[in-house]
Amino acid sequence: MRILFLASSAFALPSLRGLLGSPHTVAGVVSQPDRLRGRRGRVQPTPIAAQAEKAAIPVLKPEKIGSPDTVRRIREISPDAIVSLAYGQRVPAGVREGASLVALNLHPSLLPRHRGAAPIPWTILAGDPRTGVTAIEMVDQMDAGPILAQRTVPLAGTETAGDLEELLAAECRDLLLDCLERLNRGNLERREQDDRLATSAPILGKDAFRVDWSQSCEKADRQIRALSPRPGARSSLDGLEVKLLRTSPPLEEASQGAPGEIVALDDAGLRVAAGSGEAVLTRLQPENGKEMDVWSFARGRVLRPGQRLI
């Protein structure tokens, strides 16, 4: 089949590479426009556009995918299927109708749970015991189309958002190739979502970045993992801003410390009192410094019980 692939984020790279290694033809790629990226602020293509250009695939980079010129060019590509994954714009009907068979979207959650732009952090924040990826037929309402297929992944409860991104990116690739194979055979079924079970997963604002140590140790642990590695949960220690990036399982027994107070540094990590129990930090990044483990951090600073993270 001829595939038009809509994507921008590096999260979609395994799926694009999977398509390139499949019997299908990637007839075109639509990605966000080149923008200032990286620490040096150079104008660069998205990771998907760069990969497509390297493979000599035609790439469209519209500011608005629904513009008349873009719709016309998509119709000229004449795709059998349009696939959207981490693209960054809502795909209007005029574009979706350019596919002769189906316009599908891949979403890294078990829809209808966690509809929205940030399903992976919200999966961790909610303490879900499992997650997965879902292929849906695109409709006007975001993430609400009929389910075409799903894959479920159990969670250990220790994963960071970065861990889940890597895992679910590979799951999206496998689910996509399976969907296309079933579409090719004519046995891809559709199942309507139950809107009563839908939850929202909006992008987290800056007010969610600073750790609230008055919450339980389980919730503090989830907050840290949900924001790691980007943008990173934040706390301040004696005026030094630090990003908190990795944890060990929290200690649920009662703590002697006040919320945010350093209780001890032991083999498990840096134990910090929460509203109930203790969170255990293992990796962090000081302001203007490199990521390091907490034991290395302690060698460069005096850490003592009674200090507080705020």
Least confident of 29-33, 91-95, 150-154, 252-256: 252-256
- Please determine, for residue 150, whether its predicted confidence score (pLDDT) is greater than 90: yes
Provide the pLDDT for residue 16: 98
Provide the pLDDT for residue 247: 98
Tens-place pLDDT, residues 194-220:
999 999 999 999 999 999 999 999 999
Provide the pLDDT for residue 80: 97
- Please determine, for residue 303, whether its predicted confidence score (pLDDT) is greater than 90: no
Cα distances from 192 to residues 27, 39, 112, 200, 270, in angstroms, run 29, 44, 10, 18, 47
Angle, alpha carbons 163-47-9 (nearest 5°): 50
Written as six digits, the tokens of 166 are: 């890597």
Find the mean pLDDT for residues 171-186: 96
Tens-place pLDDT, residues 82-101:
999 999 999 999 999 999 99
Provide the pLDDT for residue 40: 75
- How far is C-alpha 207 from the geometric centre of its chain's CA atoms? 19
The answer for residues whose C-beta is within 8 angstroms of residue 280's C-beta and 6 or more apart is 221, 247, 248, 249, 250, 251, 268, 269, 270, 271, 272
Tens-place pLDDT, residues 266-286:
999 999 999 999 999 999 999
Mean pLDDT, all residues of the chain: 96
Greatest CA span in the chain, whole angstroms?
A: 68
Provide the pLDDT for residue 115: 98
Domains of the chain: 2-197 (3.40.50.170), 206-300 (3.10.25.10)
Tens-place pLDDT, residues 113-127:
999 999 999 999 999
Provide the pLDDT for residue 38: 73
Provide the pLDDT for residue 305: 86
Confidence grade of residue 167 (pLDDT, cut at 50, 70, 90): very high
Confidence grade of residue 223 (pLDDT, cut at 50, 70, 90): very high
Provide the pLDDT for residue 242: 97
Written as six digits, the tokens of 216 are: 């339980």
- Please determine, for residue 63, whether its predicted confidence score (pLDDT) is greater than 90: yes
Helices (H) and strands (E) in the chain, counts: 8, 15
Provide the pLDDT for residue 39: 72
Provide the pLDDT for residue 41: 77
Written as six digits, the tokens of 146 are: 């009929």
